Structure 1
């Protein structure tokens, strides 16, 4: 009896990890249909891909009857792009949570969330606090499987330049030999490796809440 093929949805498909995740899902024969929520067309044509053009104000209606198995949430803003903290919360927390609740209500059982190393809802750092709250909110939705990915410095080609990431890309190769033992989690990681690990764990069907730091992500990629 052939394995049942999955249906996935990617939130944040135009971003660094989201784009890699989308490409891997389209190439993976374990997935028969892949949806991507975007504000504007991605410019990709693939027989398995269906784009859903929506934003926070219209996404509820767009997802009202949509049934998927796996949600891959890789959406996120930056302080430079979204200096207003209220808008930052809307993009990083309220929007993905709204999508997650809609999909879960329609039968989605698995979520893979791109978070951040150091995510902590009680952190004094705004970014880490926000990521921690997103993690907590996703766990509260009721998914059978929750996979939280906490990568360190992300490596890959972005549309926009991020100063500290650019600096890290220069420095980390020079000092990478220092990151041994527990410090391995501080090494930079390719966005494609994060995407690959997410797709791999989603198809394994393990239930419960799972947290993945950089080194484990690399091993699962």
Structure 2
């Protein structure tokens, strides 16, 4: 398995990276990060950059079969709704779109229990809209 991941420095992302490194079938893990993790494993490559613009990391997506997105805001109540939507919807969707265009076959998304595009909760509605948008990409 050749995996590319965004959101690997957060709490869930870090745990996901640790779990991935326990999988014998993992040949390579590419981490797209805002800051270095200091992770020392020969199967891991890190690319620090601006995750807001998929053009800055698009060239790192080729030759991967799996993508994982754990990117998200830990405390959504501490920021404006438009900023939350940019981080929890727009950036993951741009990553998924770029992965699809690069030929990535499988996409795993950290979602939320109760996510629904028709939810009255802004948080759950945003998560639900993202799930629907990514499903529409045809992974």
TM-score by length of 2: 0.91
Summarize the Cα distance change of 1:55–1:61 in structure 2 as closer, same or farther, 3 Å threshold.
closer
SS state at 2:27 partner = strand
- Match of 2:84? 88
Q: Contact 1:64–1:102 (CA<8 Å) still a contact in 2?
A: no
Tell me which of 16, 23, 26 is aligned to 1:28.
Answer: 23
Count of aligned positions: 137
Summarize the Cα distance change of 1:14–1:65 in structure 2 as closer, same or farther, 3 Å threshold.
closer
- Match of 2:44? 49
CA distance in 1, matches of 2:26, 2:104: 14
Q: Contact 1:60–1:98 (CA<8 Å) still a contact in 2?
A: no
Q: Structure 2: any 5+ residue segments left out of the alignment? A: none
Q: Contact 1:76–1:92 (CA<8 Å) still a contact in 2?
A: yes
Bigger radius of gyration, 1 or 2? 1
Q: Contact 2:7–2:13 (CA<8 Å) still a contact in 1?
A: yes
Query: Whose helix proportion is higher, 1 or 2?
Result: 1
1:14 aligns with 2:19: no
CA distance in 1, matches of 2:100, 2:108: 13
CA distance in 1, matches of 2:52, 2:109: 22
* Structure with more contact order per residue of length (Cα contacts < 8 Å, sep ≥ 6): 2
- Match of 1:207? none
1:139 aligns with 2:135: yes
1:109 aligns with 2:105: yes
SS state at 1:55 partner = coil
Q: Contact 1:60–1:99 (CA<8 Å) still a contact in 2?
A: no
- Match of 1:99? 95
Q: Contact 2:115–2:127 (CA<8 Å) still a contact in 1?
A: yes
SS state at 1:45 partner = coil
Alignment RMSD (CA, Å):
1.4
